[in-house]
Amino acid sequence: MRQDARVRQNVNIAGVQGYHGCRHYDINYAFQGFTGNWYFNSDRKEKTVMGEDGILRRDNGQPFMGYGLEVELQCNGITRQAVLAECLEKIIFPHFKFGADMFKMQNDCTLGGRSNAEVITQIMTKLRIRNDYSAWKAMFDVYFPAFDIMADSHETTCGMHVNVSNAVFGKTTEKQIDNIRKLYYLINKHYDLMVRALYRDPNKTDWCGRMDYSEARNFDLYDAPSSHGNCFNASHFPEGRIEIRLVGGQKDFWCFRNTMETVFFLCERVKALKWEELDNLATVFKGCNQYVYKRLSTECASCLTLSELEEIRDNVKTEDLDF
């Protein structure tokens, strides 16, 4: 080696990540804990502020209709946590429109691999996530294989929790509560199907178990359980969000896109459904796009009847989100 070669001997994970590297669960997960909190719209980012009521809002005081992701990664190609963090921040994140500003990283003691990281996004609209699909594709299909990074719950212990702001479910608190209760019922009533629809390994649900849905209409969102063993975490509703913990790790971009499209569809669909319609899966998935239908007709086929699949197929909405 040349004597004057510059070698970084001490890469500091806190410096690389720019946030924190603790190994414990804390409040600095989705929607909070960034050095600067932003709300990412389709073509811009807006400052967010914490109100006196503990709810994060846009700088103009309006609520945001956003989604936040927690993507768990295991890596065998890189041995040091700090180097993995630097690889993500300096090589992979720049492919996104807003680069590393969109992300933070946190260590997670539940993950394996020679190194690992939990990548946590700031709040993004559905359109912002869709507009970055090409960057997500580069991350999952180009860079992850190159560095031997995996995010697949079927092959590892990884997951991908999705946080959804209350405003996605309606303009009033009353509507938000009713629609979140319907989503809670839908996920737990049809748990076996939802496990597959959200790409969770049916044999790995220790961190996202089924919950009692018998009293879903009266589910108290102001005093909801927050166990990491539950599939649905509504304990942050008073702070402006809920968390779908059932979402599994994603093996590649096509899997990620179909999962996100399923999440988008379900969160928006419950607003149009009546309680009595939640038991009819053909009605629930009526009007889904081809990416959601692809998931239903493959991974979920064993949980649907042929007539249900045919009825859903006959009402599929076509959207062009291919890259």
DSSP string, 105-132: EE--TT--SSEEEEEEE-EE-HHHHHHT
Tokens matching residue 97: 């429109």
Tokens of 267: 């969160």
Q: 19 or 171: whose pLDDT is higher?
A: 171
Question: Which residue type does 232 have?
Answer: F
pLDDT digits (tens, 9 = 90+) for 88-127: 999 999 999 999 999 988 877 788 999 999 999 999 999 9
Q: Can you give the pLDDT at residue 25?
A: 36
Highest mean pLDDT among 8-17, 219-228, 266-275: 266-275
Question: Does the structure show a pLDDT above 70 at 3?
Answer: no
> Residue 22, SS3?
coil
Mean pLDDT for 203-230 is: 95
What is the token pair recorded at 47? 């400052």
Looking at per-residue confidence, does 300 or 227 come out higher? 300
Q: Which whole number is the average pLDDT over 157-177?
A: 96
The pLDDT, as a whole number, for residue 34 is: 77
pLDDT of residue 216 exceeding 90: yes
The confidence score (pLDDT) of residue 28 equals 54
Residue type, 88: L
Beta bridge partners of 56: 50
| Residue pLDDT, tens place only, 245-267 | 999 999 999 999 999 999 999 99
Determine the number of helices (DSSP H) and then strands (DSSP E) in the chain.
11, 11
Q: What integer pLDDT is reported at residue 285 of this predicted model?
A: 98
Q: What are phi and psi of 265, to 5 degrees?
A: -65, -50
The residue ranges of every structural domain in the chain are 13-150, 160-313
Q: Which residue has the tokens 């019922």?
A: 185
For 136-166, the pLDDT digits (tens) are 999 999 999 999 999 999 999 899 999 999 9
Per-residue pLDDT, 282: 98
Cβ(47)–Cβ(59) below 8 Å: yes
pLDDT the model gives residue 10: 53
Q: Which residue has the tokens 């539950």?
A: 230
Query: What does residue 33 show for φ and ψ, rounded to 5 degrees?
Result: 90, 0
Residue 216 DSSP class = G
> Is 60 exceeded by the pLDDT of residue 18?
no
Look at residue 37 in the predicted model and tell me its pLDDT.
Answer: 84
Q: What is the structure's pLDDT at 54?
A: 81
Q: Fill in the amino acid letter for 193.
A: L
Type of residue at 134: S
Say what the alpha-carbon torsion angle 300, 65, 320, 250 is, to the nearest 10 degrees. -40
User: Which pairing describes strands 38-40 and 123-124: parallel, antiparallel, or unpaired?
Assistant: parallel
At 17 the pLDDT is 45
- Supply the Cα-derived Rg of the chain in whole angstroms: 20
Residue 8 has pLDDT above 70, yes or no: no
| pLDDT value of position 313 | 98
So what's the pLDDT on residue 13?
53
Q: How confident is the model at residue 6 (pLDDT cuts 50, 70, 90)?
A: very low
Concatenated DSSP letters of 219-260: --TTS----TTBSEE-TTGGGTEEEETTPBP-SSHHHHHHHH
Which residues are CB-neighbours of 57 under 8 A, at least 6 positions away? 48, 49, 51, 63, 64, 240
Q: What is the pTM of this model?
A: 0.92
